[in-house]
Amino acid sequence: MQLEEQLRSKMQEKDILLMTHIVLGYPSLEVNREVIRQMVENGVDCIEMQIPFSEPMADGPVILKANQEALATGISVKDCLIFGAEMAATFDIPFLYMTYYNIIYKYGEESFFKNAAKTGIKGVIVPDLPPEIGQSFLEYADNNHVAPVLIFTPTSTDERMRELARHGRGFIYCVARRGVTGKKSELNEDFHQYLSRCQAATSLPLAVGFGIQDRDDIEALKGRADIAVIGSRTIKLVEAEGAAAVGPFIAGLR
């Protein structure tokens, strides 16, 4: 079953889906494994697993630090792909990779997508690759039935959104505000107008991330988006309280 179909099936049962984000290797794959277990057992619908990169330009200080520390421990792309295969085989929810194009380019686009397809990964999010220069990337993604998830931002024009949606699969990731991840977003009237533009540009499900941190944020997205994305908040929670704190936090978001 492909990513959009899986998500739409879940959307029949819930008023909004929940996607979470982890950085592979931070603080360790063992902790990642426990955090993912707690997320799935407490109702997360989809998880994006970030393959660390030295210059994650879309990420704020929390995720940047996690990338740097994971790389300092020696985590490799191969380690991440083996771990991703394990998670996809263990839990019955869609898993995606999130990373930057340099990682995929150096690994080899064709090999990367063949590995993702073979191991059950449903999608890939690459913030620094516009479709105009990613034609082979998009072709390998489509050929292997791995969804290339594209990104809308508040500065995207309506025309640009329609062009991105034409190439995207699975869902569209809507960045809640200008800037990088981590800082709490203001879900105000400007934001609601932006989401209306997103809805008009595509028939794909809409995921909203960047600064979504608590139950109030998720409540504010109901009826306006299909998926809420929690990223930096859970990473900070693991840092402060350990992996065991993730389950109760996730359970309290609905």
Catalytic residues: 48, 59
Give the C-alpha separation, 213 to 102, whole Å. 29
Q: Alpha-carbon torsion 232, 204, 100, 128, what sign?
A: negative
Q: Alpha-carbon torsion 14, 246, 237, 94, what sign?
A: negative
Give the C-alpha separation, 201 to 211, whole Å. 23
**Residue 71 corresponds to which amino acid?**
L
Chain length of the chain: 254
Tokens (6 digits) for 140: 């390998």
> What is the CA 28 to chain-centroid distance, rounded?
19
Give the C-alpha separation, 96 to 152, whole Å. 18
Q: Under the phi-then-psi rule, with left for phi > 0, alpha for psi from -120 to 50, and beta for the rest, what region is 206?
A: beta
Give the C-alpha separation, 85 to 77, whole Å. 12
Sequence-distant (6+) residues with CB within 8 A of 214 are 233, 253
Tokens (6 digits) for 147: 């969804």
Sequence-distant (6+) residues with CB within 8 A of 242 are none
